[in-house]
Homo-oligomer: A and B are copies of this chain.
Amino acid sequence: MHFPAPLRTFQETMLPAVEEAMQAIVERAHCQADDGLYHMLAYHLGWQGEGAGPAAQGKRVRPLLLLLTTAATGGQWRRAVPAAAAVELLHNFSLIHDDIEDRGDTRRGRPTVWKRWGLPLGLNSGDALFTLASIAVLELHPPTDAAITLQAARILHQTALHLTKGQHLDIAYENRPTVSVAAYWQMVEGKTAALLAACTELGALLAGASDARRRAYHEFGRMVGLAFQAWDDYLGIWGDAALTGKSTTGDLMERKKTLPVLYGLEQGGAFARAWANGSPRTPEEVPALAAALEADGARAYTEATAASLTGEALQALDKANPQGPAGEALRQLALLLLKRAS
């Protein structure tokens, strides 16, 4: 993802401050008798071990979204850094546990934590990171007043509850033959949209925004999440692998219940019949199955849905009315997240 100016300028100022805050928090995992817990977390966060560095750290989009919102709403972004560290730590906790739940072997090009250290220590390191996220948000200090800090902590934990509900649905759906499109959206609300909504809402809260503006920012983050997921599902079947870096056979080969697939199943046409018969069994079967899905209207439906959600996200952003260079950067970040199809 190439960041244009002024987004890049903010990124280069804000993210080092977030990284520093995360490092100060994660230091608390040090333990005299065995320092393994700290090293596991530092490895997962891309600070230590083989392959450490920017590629292993991920893009840190969530803290950037939070701090840009604060700055674009007239707040001092440096005061919001503990909350930005908290959302990134929370995101990374969920990745450590997701990798165990999905038996994932690699993450950002490196072996996953549980693969390297075993399941018991890996699971426990996720718990530690979740705890550190909770501690981070409580580091919002005066002049942020105690009532605002409490509200920020409530938003963070409410979001964590949404995440675990979304994750429950995701795992539970695997064992169902099909899932309704409505049930799919409940899962995406938890797994993808809730944390992005928390970023923009926390950013607005810590700038002292009005309730109405906070709600608009919340809706903006949520809609970015929903639209992002719809595009991601679209690109997983009809994307240009050379542009997206994402295989266009993987989702169908793994028989993932993505939005186009669920729409296709609801149509009960040629795609649904082939799927019920266990297709695809080989990568060679994928193009024909994708064509059947398109013929049943799933491609047009998914594209229209993603485009409509993108429009709603941009409308919510207009309503939130971000200001100044940070507001401009926030618009740029939203477009980068939403225009992955182009």
Measured CB to CB, the residues of A under 8 A from B are 28-29, 31-34, 36-37, 97, 100-102, 119-121, 123-128, 130-132, 134-135, 138, 145-147, 149-150, 153-154, 157-158, 160-161, 163-165, 167-169, 171-173, 182-183, 186-187
Whether the pair A164, B131 counts as a contact (CB closer than 8 A) is yes
- Distance (whole angstroms) from the CB of A31 to the closest CB of chain B: 5
Residues A135 and B161 in contact in the complex (CB < 8 Å), given A123-B101, A168-B124, A168-B128:
yes
A185, closest chain B residue (CB): B33
Q: Which residues of B contact A171 (CB under 8 A)?
A: 120-121, 124
CA distance A234 to B174 in the complex (A): 47
How far apart sit A310 and B187, CA to CA, in the bound complex (Å)?
A: 50
Residues of chain B with a CB closer than 8 A to A153's CB: 134, 138, 150, 153
Q: Which of B32, B97, B124, B147 contacts A167 (CB 8 A)?
A: B124
A164 touches which of B127, B157, B173, B182 (Cβ 8 Å): B127
Write out the residue numbers on chain B whose beta carbons fall within 8 Å of the beta carbon of A128. Answer: 161, 164-165, 168
Chain B contacts for A32, CB-based, 8 A: 186
Least CB distance, A184 to chain B, in whole angstroms: 9
Tell me whether A127 and B97 are in contact (CB under 8 A).
yes
B157 touches A138 (CB 8 A): yes
* A35–chain B nearest beta-carbon distance, Å: 10
Q: How far is the CA of A145 from the CA of B146 in the complex (A)?
A: 9
In whole angstroms, what is the CA distance A128 to B171 when docked?
Answer: 14
Question: Which 6 A-B pairs have CB atoms at the shortest separation, nearest pair first?
Answer: A101-B120, A146-B146, A128-B164, A33-B183, A37-B168, A131-B160
Contact B97 A172 (CB under 8 A): no
* New A-B contacts (9) at CB < 8 Å, excluding given A126-B127, A150-B150: A31-B169, A33-B187, A34-B172, A101-B124, A124-B168, A128-B168, A131-B160, A146-B146, A149-B150
Write out the residue numbers on chain B whose beta carbons fall within 8 Å of the beta carbon of A34.
168-169, 172-173, 183
Which residue on B lies nearest to A118, using beta carbons? B171
Partner of A168, one of B125, B135, B164: B125
Cβ of A124 and Cβ of B138 under 8 Å apart? no
- For the complex, what is the distance from the CA of A172 to the CA of B32, rounded to whole Å? 13
Taken together as a complex, chains A and B put the C-alpha atoms of A91 and B106 apart, in Å, by 32
> Which residues on B sit within 8 Å (CB–CB) of A172?
34, 36, 121
Closest to A165 in B: B31
Compute how far the CA of A130 lies from the CA of B163 in the bound complex, rounded to whole angstroms: 12
Nearest CB in chain B: distance from A93 CB, A: 8
In whole angstroms, what is the CA distance A84 to B253 when docked? Answer: 49
Residue numbers in B under 8 Å from A157 (CB-CB): 131, 134-135, 138
Q: Is the CB of A121 within 8 A of B161?
A: no
Contacts of A182 in B (CB 8 A): 33
A32–B179 Cα distance when bound, in Å, is 13
Contact with A160, one of B100, B134, B160, B164 (Cβ below 8 angstroms): B134
**How many whole Å from A39's CB to the nearest CB in chain B?**
11
Q: How far is the CA of A121 from the CA of B165 in the complex (A)?
A: 10
Name the residue of chain B whose CB is nearest to the CB of A136.
Answer: B157
Which partner residue on chain B sits nearest A94 by CB separation? B127
Determine whether the beta carbon of A132 is less than 8 Å from that of B161. Answer: yes
